[in-house]
Amino acid sequence: MDLHSLGNRFHRSHSMLLSVGTIASLSKIGAAWFYFGLMPEHETTVRSRELGEGLRRVLEKAGLTTGKEVARQLEWSQSDVSRMLTGKRAVKETDLALFLGICKVKTAERRRLLNLCREANKPGWYQQHGSRLPKQLRTYIDHEDKAVVINDYQSTLLSGSLQTGDYARAVITRIVNVPADEVDDRIAARLARSSIFSRPRPPRYTFFVHEFVLRLPVGGAAVMSEQLHHLLRMSVRSSISLRVIPMDIGAHAALAGSFTFMEFTDTRPVIYMESETSNVFLEEPNEITAYRHIVAALAETALDEAQSRDLIGRLAIELYQDPRGS
């Protein structure tokens, strides 16, 4: 073999050694990044955020509000704990078990959080609640609290955050699966949701309400009169746009049913829907696109804010003249 050929073979062999060495080094660096929590933040899901909120409550209950003590005991960085609490850090089940052990989490909640950990990367979430929805829709409220824009469409009843106490009572007492001893607690939980409008920076709400909702005599004339006047008072708030879908248009884009479309500053939007015994969160890109189209179509179809107020006021007088005021 001549000197030139030998030189080429040496060059190829040396390059291969460098490539293998480089790959090995990069693999070690990647492993270290993963071990020390330095991997890039992954996109959160409804479940990973629910896990984060659950861990935040666990810390508060254990009196470890900052997470510094847990980070010290687990030899994690404080940023690892912070990102885990926002759902932005992937969590291994073994690490979560250690975390829960330090916080002395009991069996039922421990099992719930470990199940969330296993499914944290799955988009969307179908939640089943047995014979009835819980008193407080924790996952929904956590997302509503963080939303900056909310588009809500209701086809049969007013959104819970717009309901008066008497309207809420008339609705809840007719839910056959709710025991009588739960009614007052459920009414209180529903009315508490309206506190979101009183925040210094509330989300920007658009409520699309079908005219049928305004005409359905829930609780009778007196209850509906007060409810419609409450809508008129709420409709003048700067953070609320209340728009009515008139009955005379017939078919419209949201015939599939009621939904809430929530948008956030740092995560993808979420669509929420509920039934008698379950609720569902949608967050896949094609689902988001589909509901954006529906919201846009409703905005084209609905009466504007002034027209909507006129209709609400007219119905309050024509259908629900309060005999106490006559």
Instruction: Report residue 130 CA to chain centroid gap.
Output: 21
pLDDT at 137: 86
> pLDDT tens digits, residue range 50-90?
888 888 888 888 887 667 878 888 788 888 788 888 777 77
| Cβ-proximal residues to 24 (8 Å cutoff; 6+ apart), any chain | none
Q: Which regions in the chain score pLDDT beneath 50?
A: 2-4, 6-7, 10-40, 326
Give the whole-number percent of the chain exceeding pLDDT 70.
Answer: 85
pLDDT at 208: 98
What tokens were used for 45?
């899901």
Distance (Å, whole) CA 100 – CA 110: 7
Distance (Å, whole) CA 41 – CA 90: 8
Alpha carbon dihedral 58, 63, 67, 70, in 10-degree steps, equals -90
With 0-12 CB in 10 A as exposed, 13-18 as middle and 19+ as buried, what is 274? middle
> pLDDT tens digits, residue range 95-139?
888 888 888 888 888 998 998 888 888 888 888 888 888 877 889
Distance (Å, whole) CA 45 – CA 282: 10
Query: Model pTM?
Result: 0.77
Distance (Å, whole) CA 171 – CA 48: 33
Residue 155 CB neighbours (<10 A):
17
